[in-house]
Structure 1
Amino acid sequence: MRWPSGVSWAMPCAATPRRMSLADAVLVTRPEPGLAETMRTVAALGWRPIAAPGLELLPKPFTPPRAQALLLTSRAAARAVPPLGLPVLAVGEATAAEARLCGHPDVTAAEGDAEALAALVRNTLQPADGPLLLAIGEGYGRELAAALRASGFAVQRRVAYAAHAARHLPAPALEALRQGRVGAALFFSPRTARASMALIRAAGLAEAARTIRAVAISRRVTDTLAVLPWAEVATATRPDHLSMMEALGEAR
């Protein structure tokens, strides 16, 4: 076989230009705290992140009761509750890190969900040592409180923040959906998923989901997403930020 004139082994092959998909945007539906962090990570994976929080969070100060420990089930709760001089048991590493940043010195992290937090409580605390303070978002935490009470613990639920559905999608999100530029959407809780899908439907853009890959942090969120006709629904292997980014993957 004869090589074309002027070509040698030392010459690199011309690289084929990589064509980026037109659907290069990712809707990030979580509110702060966490929105900015996820936006940065999504951008590092080569996507174009678009902030589209489905919820707005508002802190609700409360007078803390006597307790042997503080239980935190979200970063929003960790940010809303000031240091109380109590040991903190957090639902996962992200919530634990937020609690430490907010000044809580004694923080232990569970494995990422309410069931794991309940197991951590049972393994490290005793009902006889006093009640537990469970700081939650409005409408959350009832199942966890019931599970701990069934194990003999007294649980004081206190609402640390309220979550309200956003009134509309931001203009960049609407534009990307209308132009078919959204390749994926990230959903971090059932409530956020429901609120975000309601906004998409209210904008008359439900059919846009047919070309979008939805990424859910848990099976509960996956079940919630059945309302819209997504092209695909991927579920993170673990309910944490890293697994969500792995499920999203790099832009192609």
Structure 2
Amino acid sequence: MMGRGILVTRPEPGGAETARAVAALGWHPLLAPALVLRAAPARGLPKAQAILLPSRAAARALPPGETPVLAVGAGTAAEARAQGFSQVTAAEGDAAALAALAAERLDPASGPLLLAVGRGYSMDLARALRARGFRVIRRIAYEAAPATALPEEARAALAAGTVAAALFTSPRGVRITLALLRQAGLADAARGIRALAISERIAEALRPLPWAGIAVTERPDPALLPALLGPPG
């Protein structure tokens, strides 16, 4: 018999990895990515003393090279290494930690930083780096388009009341998912669902719906979300 469903709203790359971890615990993952990511057209990279990667999607979108890389967390660092980057250092999982790592390891006088981002993302990170004296070149590495509807398997499980929890990795993803639930007439399904998030900002974005409960990981790492599920009931 199939286990109760867990809604996975994390986009690729990463959604499938989270789904595998959920399945390994005995739950049934329901992929419902809030965002569809598409790499921006490839072009040569400007010279920089380091590349900053605030997401795994950015790591996948860039051509590898010898320029040192600072990644937002362990998952993004692993993705960068898999893509062929050879000098990679990981921060502790969020934009503030990435800015702090740059300030610790790099000298503003040694040249600009290349910040690879999704369109419309990481503006605060760029400002934080500039406030520390760095020249920052923002490069749009990918586009993130909102999903237009819930996948049929996820919609059916929500309608049947068989979804036990939903996993969230960004405030924007929350806003899109909430809009899709309302669009499908399923917002009230939240009453039977635990919402699990990787930050307090995401938890705050969840509050417009009456979830059965909201829990937050101890640090902003999507790999920690499945552990909040516990064993299937």
Per the TM alignment, residue 245 of structure 1 is displaced from its structure 2 partner at its CA by 1.8
Summarize the alignment of residues 188-227 of structure 1 with structure 2, pairs less than 5 Å apart.
188-227=169-208
Answering whether residue 222 of structure 2 is matched by residue 241 of structure 1, we say yes
Query: How large is the Cα RMSD of the aligned pairs?
Result: 1.4
1:46 to 26, 29, 40: 26
Summarize the alignment of residues 13-162 of structure 1 with structure 2, pairs less than 5 Å apart.
24-60=4-40, 61-162=42-143
- Secondary structure of 1:184's match? strand
Contact 1:91/1:117, CA 8 A, preserved across alignment: yes
> Structure 1: which 5+ residue stretches go unaligned?
1-19
- The TM-score with structure 2 as length reference comes to 0.96
Q: What is aligned with 1:171?
A: 152
Q: 1 CA distance for matches of 2:116 and 2:226?
A: 27
- Letter of the 1:221 partner, please give it: I
- Letter of the 1:97 partner, please give it: A
Per the TM alignment, residue 241 of structure 1 is displaced from its structure 2 partner at its CA by 2.8
Q: 1 CA distance for matches of 2:118 and 2:136?
A: 15
Contact 1:62/1:158, CA 8 A, preserved across alignment: no
Q: What is aligned with 1:12?
A: none
Per the TM alignment, residue 193 of structure 1 is displaced from its structure 2 partner at its CA by 1.1
Q: 2 CA distance for matches of 1:100 and 1:243?
A: 21
Worse-superposed segment, 53-62 or 22-31: 22-31
Per the TM alignment, residue 84 of structure 1 is displaced from its structure 2 partner at its CA by 3.2
Contact 1:69/1:86, CA 8 A, preserved across alignment: yes
- Secondary structure of 1:117's match? helix
- Secondary structure of 1:227's match? coil
Per the TM alignment, residue 232 of structure 1 is displaced from its structure 2 partner at its CA by 0.5
Runs of 4+ off more than 4 Å:
none
Deviations 1:177-217 (A, max 9, x none): 01000000000111111111111110010000011000001
- Letter of the 1:34 partner, please give it: G
Q: 2 CA distance for matches of 1:131 and 1:221?
A: 31
Deviations 1:139-161 (A, max 9, x none): 11111111111111000011100
- Secondary structure of 2:11's match? coil
Q: How many residues align?
A: 232
Q: 2 CA distance for matches of 1:228 and 1:80?
A: 34
> Structure 2: which 5+ residue stretches go unaligned?
none
Contact 2:196/2:214, CA 8 A, preserved across alignment: yes
- Letter of the 1:122 partner, please give it: A
- Secondary structure of 1:250's match? coil
- Secondary structure of 2:196's match? strand
Q: 1 CA distance for matches of 2:43 and 2:122?
A: 16
Q: 1 CA distance for matches of 2:222 and 2:203?
A: 16
- Letter of the 2:7 partner, please give it: L
- Secondary structure of 1:196's match? helix
- Secondary structure of 1:108's match? strand
Larger Rg, first or second structure (1 or 2): 1
Contact 1:190/1:221, CA 8 A, preserved across alignment: yes
Per the TM alignment, residue 250 of structure 1 is displaced from its structure 2 partner at its CA by 2.1
What is the aligned-residue identity percentage? 58
